Structure 1
Amino acid sequence: MRAAVIERYGEPPVLRDVPEPTVDGATLVEVIAAPLNPVDLSIASGKFYAGSPPTPYVPGGEGIGRLLQNGKPGPRVYFRAALPNGALAERAVVSQSQTVPIPDSVPDGVAAALGTPGIAAYLALTRRAQLKAGETVLILAASGVLGSCAVQVARLLGAGRIVAGARDEQQLARARELGADAIVDLKQTDGLSDRIREASGGQLNVVIDPLWGVPGVAALEAMSPFGRSVQLGQAAGPEAVVKSGILRGRYLSILGFTNFLVPWEEQAAAYRTLVDWATSGKLKAEFEVLPLEAAPDAWKRQASSPHRKLALSPQARG
């Protein structure tokens, strides 16, 4: 079968013919679309904090596909794939218990885009930040897939005021269309905490932070007493200097988050909620489905943080 294969750490995948995977007690799925996520590139760098599989391996931790029943395609599902037999292939090995049925009304690209980033956005706001109705939320990196989803989820959860922070003017305008009440340009770092405070109306309860670095610290400096900042990425840098007095004096909480440590049942429930919202038109996701042969170029595009979800499809043709 055809698959995108990581042959060397730090390099894009290459298309290869590989044997069909077989694992006792598991189920095969015919892959329809496999989204690329930042974590895929981190793992393929060979420097991922949780470790990387030996090369060569097939990347991709999730996808949309049809369960193979007696060799024939069955129900369409969202699935999780386990490395080294990842989702960037014509078929992948899955545990049937880690699949979620997808309604026919939801396009493949939308279903793919709502996976890892959508689940993270939803659970960061609910499970970790415990967002309350009426609270003010700042979404950093609102131009990304996770950020744009978080803006919409915060609105659907009843946030009183939503502030979107990003570096791209067009994407900031898009964030307003998706439900943000105010925007903050992150390109200029001078006075950033003051601008965040002003955009928040002087009250900032929750921060969703995939950036860390300078923007993450500025957000902490702008937070109100008892604020909660959920840290789920380091796109602006792996290190940040935070004055301890800010944390102590305002009783602030910095809460780490990763999907990896959330039980599957909770992730599946979050995904079902997102799909329900998408089905009813309450949640939008921007995506682009590319043929599997485009994996090397798509990998490079993912490294430059595209503003839409890129998904690779073995069934598409370039």
Structure 2
Amino acid sequence: MYGAQHLHEFGGLPAVDFQHTDDPAARPAAGAVAWRVSVDPYGDEGRDRPWAEEFADFLDAVDVAEVRALIIGQWGEAYEEDSSVPVNLVIDAADRLTSLEAVFVGDLESEQAEITWIQQSDVTALLAAFPALTELGARGGTGLVFPPVKHERLRALTVQAGGLPVQVVRGVLDSELPALERLDLWLGVSAYEGDTEVADLAPLLSGTRFPRLHHLGLRNSEVANEIAAALASAPVVARLRTLDLSNGTLGDEGAAALLEGQPLTHLELLDLHHHFLTQAMEQRVRSALEPDGVCVDLSQRNEPWGGRGVEGRYTAVSE
């Protein structure tokens, strides 16, 4: 497994860890970076402080009225403490974070907590507290709550999971997000609560949801072939610029369904990296799309474990 890694950028800004310093001038401008606030519960004495204290220091040390992007990193022992504490602290500071446009909850690497161990909470509370938010992301599906919401300005939504519960997917798809342009869902595997089936994606695939959507990611899925087959005739595809089916179990059967379905030559990017296509199918996909200017990412070709065919395929991020 490749595992989840720290964000290098978020909200169109480079990600930078908030650090204590005696020289405030050494810090970047408050609005020039995405600030990651984290603690290390296993660190040396004096460093294993509560996230609330670290965030309080951040609020005092940085010109937070100018902060545009905030990343909630490790907030403690994330497999025992859910994200409601940092989420609520950020909400409590809404009157100070007046320029905030992007929030990511749970930027933990595998060494800190496996993605399926991360205990999440109701991240939609951030949307209610920040009506100007344009991007929201979360990592970890365990305990994640996403009831249907209405938000006028959200343009990008990412939910990364080793297993994404269908209740979360339904909440997202039942939400009123008229400005949404980018949607990335890591569906994961059934062994870790990833119980979303293709039928549950029907409102999204029909093209009746999210009228401004131009990027769709249905990633890290053990049912990637079934999703590809559904996308072959899905109305939403015609208005996409980018389609991302990466990190899943896609094989020749799914790729063939895509090629034999509706035209894909209008796409700018078809991202299929981490896949199980044969070399012959890779060449078929390239020959069908690249002459028309479609960028096709077919990196990270994998072989099934033990040569066991379909049942030996695996997603890139699980545990």
Q: TM-score range by the shorter chain?
A: 0.3 to 0.5
Higher helix share: 1
Larger RCO (alpha carbons 8 Å, 6+ apart):
1
TM value normalised by structure 1: 0.32
TM value normalised by structure 2: 0.32
